Structure 1
């Protein structure tokens, strides 16, 4: 058996779904532009620089989910998918995914973005398995808090190994493993797989990839 892991934002997508979700809510006047837009941009710049405090960001990103009933959130998400996400699917993303599926590799999207935002994206891309940051829920409604370990940096390894354990698998279950990512934040997991691949990478990851002989590809 072989394992293919895919980062989502700026890898299979040509933008960041977390950032776009907040911008979408601002455009819908769900969130106040004056209060939220500058903060959203600030967090995104911190993420790209590798300085993001994930717990501070999740407090910002998940609280709006707790302020609205699930039915309304689902309606907004459907519109968000059509307007913001479908146009962001990288031109080469589906071919790359299909290549691994044809080889019968276990395909998983693993992303720091929360599962409410990313679950329908995984479905559209045809990937059955998603490991994402999980928003806490009670009685079917979001609490505004995170459940468990955020799927970010070293947390991606933790969450992946938890997922593998739940499916009676370990790293030793796989003859080979791939991880495709654009971000310096994913260096911990990239170093764990047998085939790390930098996809349209940021400058830090590209430099690391080239120094270590990792493939650098573009899906755009």
Structure 2
């Protein structure tokens, strides 16, 4: 049995779950629409350029949830996935899961932990890592807790898991679309690239990595 690590957004999913989550919060009236359009455009441009202030982005997404209980958040996530399932999940999503039906599957995503958990539950994947949010007295504070699972943080998270599970990380198969995941791409012998951004596509071709286009 192999160990397979999936990035979530634009990899196992055919879109970005956090961008869609932000749209969802606008629809629910949690975020002003004009502010949303301005901020998301800025964050998306920075993300594509590989220079995103990831913590600021997460805090922006968490702001509408301040004071909500984790139960309220989980209810919203269920509603969100039901609404956006057909937008974010395509045939390749299921093909990748079927390819590794009998393997150990892990989702490692920079997205906020509660969103990653929602999709992990949807796909029946038991092990998942997302950016942790601070919960005090069962309520969202709007702050992060611990290391964001983004870029080097995703690598360190998977290194820690590997040590705890007596696993050699280099033996994992890793699927991703983003240059931000280059540290983990380099750590795994077998990285498979999904419809990559220009920088990761260049790296993949130079290093003879398999590329799958949606």
Into which bin does the TM-score normalised by the smaller protein fall?
over 0.9
Do the aligned partners of 1:11 and 1:90 also contact (CA within 8 Å) in 2?
A: no
- Provide the rounded CA distance (Å) in 2 between the counterparts of 1:140 and 1:87: 31
Summarize the Cα distance change of 1:131–1:70 in structure 2 as closer, same or farther, 3 Å threshold. Answer: closer
* 1:208 paired residue number: 203
Q: Which residue matches 1:186?
A: 181
TM-score by length of 2: 0.92
Aligned to 2:89: 89
Corresponding residue SS for 2:130: strand
SS of aligned partner of 1:95: helix
Which of 159, 165, 169 aligns to 2:166? It is 169
Instruction: Give, in whole Å, the separation in 1 of the partners of 2:78 and 2:84.
Output: 10
**Residue 135 of structure 2 corresponds to which residue in structure 1?**
137
In structure 1, the residue matched to 2:22 is 22
Distance 1:155 1:64 in 2: 25
Q: Distance in 1 between matches of 2:2 and 2:74?
A: 34
- Once structures 1 and 2 are overlaid, which stretch shifts more, 71-80 or 28-37? 71-80
Number of positions where the alignment pairs a residue of Structure 1 with one of Structure 2: 214
Q: Point out the more displaced range, 107-116 or 132-141.
A: 132-141
Structure 1: distance between partners of 2:152 and 2:62: 21
**How big is the shift at 1:69?**
3.8
Structure-2 separation of matches of 1:57 and 1:125: 26
Q: Is the 8 A contact 1:114 1:135 kept in 2?
A: yes
- SS of structure 2 residue aligned to 1:118: helix
Residue 172 of structure 2 aligns to a residue in which SS?
A: strand
Output aligned runs, 1:23-172, within 5 Å.
23-102=23-102, 105-166=103-164, 168-171=165-168
Consecutive unaligned residues in structure 2, runs of 5 or more? none
Q: Is the 8 A contact 1:4 1:177 kept in 2?
A: yes
Determine helix, strand or coil for the equivalent of 1:149: coil
Q: Name the TM-score, length of structure 1 as normaliser.
A: 0.90
Specify every segment of 5 or more residues in structure 1 that has no aligned partner in the other structure, as ranges.
none
Q: Partners of 2:86 and 2:124 in 1: how far apart?
A: 13
